[in-house]
Structure 1
């Protein structure tokens, strides 16, 4: 019996050694990389003000994650924009495609703005897309997604909303990110971050029509060397008599939080704004899906004193990748 026990032990040791050798050879032939990843997800918040939003009781956030995406291998979802038409809510957002390593634009639907169902990818280009700023004008839906990889800001128009979109025109040349448009004071205004890597420079353009021609504001860039407020963080909104611009706080850490700014002066020759005294309006939580940061908000007033917003956030994790 003693000899059988020793034989079993030796067999186990031999099997372990062989397995270790197999693993070592595999790693040599197929390098294994351990990478830090950021998993972004999308949630729905509500509140009496766009400056004071919280999770909704009874709604399981996040409402859309990479696991909900069914038509591509998604690494994460982010940058949600929502619109309501025909008694239904539509959400457009970035889907990071893990196979192509670039962003596509997907969408989801909801009957109540709280419970969402992913539908499909609706815009895929040879370059990265994100931040699908969707808006309605003169009976048409338009979209200005981030298209810095194309070296231009692009305007798309819905051919058959919500699933079919076509390029309307290129409106500004340059590699800009998180471009946000608003109509105020009889003028169209376009805010665009011009330093995608450092997130610290914001340029301002204006036009009489969304089709252009777009002219750069004489004070542009209106923000320089400040990653706490240069890159936009969602739709620019009207709140009472105020125009509010949301910006990412990305100093030291990308997508750390969202700050709000009141635009106090906006003309073809001038621009001014002041920070909301209770910034940030969105930030990381101690645990959960958004425990490391939040960087986007699209807020809509659905009734007097009641706002709903699509937001995003992320958590960091370690991913093991094997090269074949």
Structure 2
């Protein structure tokens, strides 16, 4: 009987301790939620490969090559959606910078002599509305840019008036819809443009035109994809190579921006559209750790030799950050300000 009493007492003590411990942990979690939040951070990396469907991080590169910490002229939460071009041996990369003060995207510029090591330059395009996905391309020896401007319900064309730092708005190509990730390319003497629409970004529309600056017509088969989250939203530059058209798409079936898949457009005329998934999908995906822990959703590949490709990509990770309006954030700002004064 005494042993039973001892056992019951111990069980009661353990139960009481467990309840107290649970309340303590719950209290700690609630306090943490008051001051700390989880944020997804995008950053930019460089991958290489032997084909348009085979990319990985090369040994000579320590990714990411650009992060929000590299941005010096605006406060930044992340960098993403990189596009690059090479002019006279210099690589120029344009990308979204999320301005944390204004909570909207602007377009930044970085340069490189070898496409491996990058130096941030400055913000080159800022509008009253959100900008991202700065699709840069060359036509008739002039550089153009079509950034995503879905917040303005339009697709807008910009031209470099002083490449690479000054861009001038030329014309609205399409309007009255929330076009996201507009991706333009030339094929068979026509301009083609793929863009996602709808609140869920699960509708892919196709347009074509004889003239870059006007006369855009929606394809009779458009929308060419509806209701499929793993192959709708564009994920970077459309590549036309040896009469083959390769488009990249975000796979958002499980979570937004999880991985990138590739599709070959096998038939494209003003009346027809067909595509098929390529072997080896996904082309790039989350690694489970580090800078691209939980997602990759963009790729811009460029051929640099026989069976040699280089691409700028982006990756996402989760991290805990102090909430901006919390007491800890205010104290942190004061400490940082005091530190700057003392130094």
User: What CA deviation, in whole Å up to 9, does each residue of 1:12-51 have, x standing for no partner?
Assistant: xxxxxxxxxxxxxxx99xx945433110010011111121
Alignment partner, residue 195 of structure 2? 192
Q: Distance in 2 between matches of 1:172 and 1:254?
A: 26
Match of 2:241 among 235, 239, 255: 239
**Counterpart check, 1:84 vs 2:125:** no
Q: Distance in 1 between matches of 2:54 and 2:41?
A: 25
**Counterpart check, 1:212 vs 2:175:** no
How many corresponding residue pairs? 296
In the TM superposition, structure 1's runs of 4+ consecutive aligned residues that sit over 3 Å from their partners are 31-34
Match of 1:309 among 297, 308, 311: 311
Alignment partner, residue 15 of structure 2? none
The answer (yes or no) to whether the contact 2:187–2:240 under 8 Å persists in 1 is no
Q: Find the residue that maps to 2:297 and give its secondary structure.
A: strand
User: What CA deviation, in whole Å up to 9, does each residue of 1:142-172 have, x standing for no partner?
Assistant: 0000001111100000000000001000000
Q: Distance in 1 between matches of 2:51 and 2:241?
A: 8
Aligned-residue offset at 1:175: 1.3
Q: Distance in 2 between matches of 1:278 and 1:199?
A: 24
Q: Find the residue that maps to 1:60 and give its secondary structure.
A: coil
Alignment partner, residue 299 of structure 2? 297
Match of 1:54 among 53, 56, 66: 56
The answer (yes or no) to whether the contact 1:104–1:128 under 8 Å persists in 2 is yes
The answer (yes or no) to whether the contact 2:109–2:124 under 8 Å persists in 1 is yes
Aligned-residue offset at 1:239: 3.4
Question: Gaps spanning 5+ residues in structure 1: where?
Answer: 1-26
Aligned-residue offset at 1:59: 1.1
Alignment partner, residue 106 of structure 1? 108
Alpha carbons of structure 1 residues 111 and 322: separation in structure 2 relative to 1, 3 Å: closer
**Structure with more of its chain in strand, by fraction:** 1
Aligned-residue offset at 1:323: 2.0
Q: Find the residue that maps to 2:102 and give its secondary structure.
A: coil
User: What CA deviation, in whole Å up to 9, does each residue of 1:221-270 have, x standing for no partner?
Assistant: 00000010110000000233421000000113000000000000000000
User: What CA deviation, in whole Å up to 9, does each residue of 1:188-232 have, x standing for no partner?
Assistant: 00001012x412110000000110110000010000000101100
RMSD: 1.6
Alignment partner, residue 15 of structure 1? none
**Counterpart check, 1:177 vs 2:153:** no
Larger Rg belongs to: 2
Match of 2:250 among 244, 248, 251: 248
Q: Distance in 2 between matches of 1:238 and 1:322?
A: 45
Q: Distance in 2 between matches of 1:286 and 1:253?
A: 14
Match of 1:320 among 319, 322, 329: 322
User: What CA deviation, in whole Å up to 9, does each residue of 1:106-164 have, x standing for no partner?
Assistant: 01000011110000000000000000000000111000000011111000000000000
Q: Find the residue that maps to 2:145 and give its secondary structure.
A: strand
**Structure with more of its chain in helix, by fraction:** 2
Q: How does 1:145-160 map to 2 (within 5 A)?
A: 145-160=147-162
The answer (yes or no) to whether the contact 1:32–1:320 under 8 Å persists in 2 is no
